[in-house]
Copies of this chain bind each other. A is one copy, B any other.
Amino acid sequence: MSATTSSAPPARGPADHAVREQIVDAAGEHFSRYGYAKTTVSDLAKSIGFSKAYIYKFFDSKEAIGEAICSKTLTGIVATVEAAVAGASTPTERFRQMFKVLVATSVGLFFNDRKLYDIAAHAAGEQWPSCRAYRERINQMLTEIVREGRESGEFERKTPLDETVQAIDLVVQPYVNPLLLQYNLDVAEAAPVQLSNLVLRSLAP
C-alpha cells in the first residue's frame, strides 16, 4: 500500500497532481477491463473528460502509463506477501510462506485479472523498471530471511550470503516472474512446497 512507483525516469509534469491520479485510475480500470492494447489513450482522455494531448503533459508515452499500472500491480503483490510473511515466526517459516504466497498471489492475478497479468508479463519480458524493482524487492526479502536464519543459527553460514541468495533467487524466479510463471502454471501449486524443501535442506547448518 505504499506510494506509486520507485525507480524509473520521473516522467513528465508534476509528480503529484490530481489529474495524474485520475489518469492512473482510469488506466487501471481500462487496462484491467479491456487490456493494454485495446485501450487507446484517447479512451483514457475521454473517460476523465480531457483531451488526449493533456495526458501527454503527465506521461511521456502510453507505455509510461502502462509502467505505472504495472508498478501498482507488483507493489500490491509485494504488500500481500509482506503481510503474510509478517505472521511467520521463524526464518524457515518465513521462507516457506513468502514463496507460497508470492506464487499463489501471482497465480491469482493470472486467473482473476488476466489483463493486468499480461501487462506484468510483457513488462517482465521488456525488463521495465517496475519489474527490476520487483525483482530487487524479492531479493531483499530473501536476503533478510537468510540473514536472520543465519543469525539465529537456523541456517548454515559457510556459503557467502550473496551466493546463497543469488541461487535461491534463481530457484524462485520461474514462479514469481510473470513472464515465466505462465509456462509453469501446471506445477505452480506443488513447486513452492517441493522447492522450499530443497532450498531449506541446502540451508541446513
A183 touches B194 (CB 8 A): no
Name A164's closest neighbour in chain B (CB-CB): B198
Give the number of copies in the complex.
2
A26 within 8 A of B: no
A75 nearest CB across to chain B (Å): 23
Question: Which residue of A156, A170, A179, A187 has the most chain B CB atoms within 10 A of its CB atom?
Answer: A170
Looking at the assembled complex, report how far the CB atom of A204 sits from the nearest CB atom of chain B, in whole angstroms: 8
CB distance from A168 to the nearest CB of B (A): 7
Least CB distance, A83 to chain B, in whole angstroms: 27
- For A, the interface residue count at a CB cutoff of 8 angstroms equals 27
Q: What residues of chain B lie closer than 8 Å to A187, measured between beta carbons?
A: 170
Is the CB–CB distance between B202 and A163 below 8 Å? no
Interface residues in chain A, defined as those with a beta carbon under 8 Å from any beta carbon in chain B: 125, 156, 159, 163-164, 166-168, 170-171, 173-174, 179-180, 183-184, 187, 191, 194-195, 197-199, 201-204
CB<8 Å pairs between A and B, sample of 22? A159-B197, A159-B201, A163-B194, A163-B197, A164-B198, A167-B195, A167-B197, A167-B198, A168-B198, A170-B187, A170-B194, A171-B198, A173-B174, A180-B180, A180-B183, A180-B184, A198-B202, A201-B201, A201-B202, A201-B203, A202-B202, A204-B204
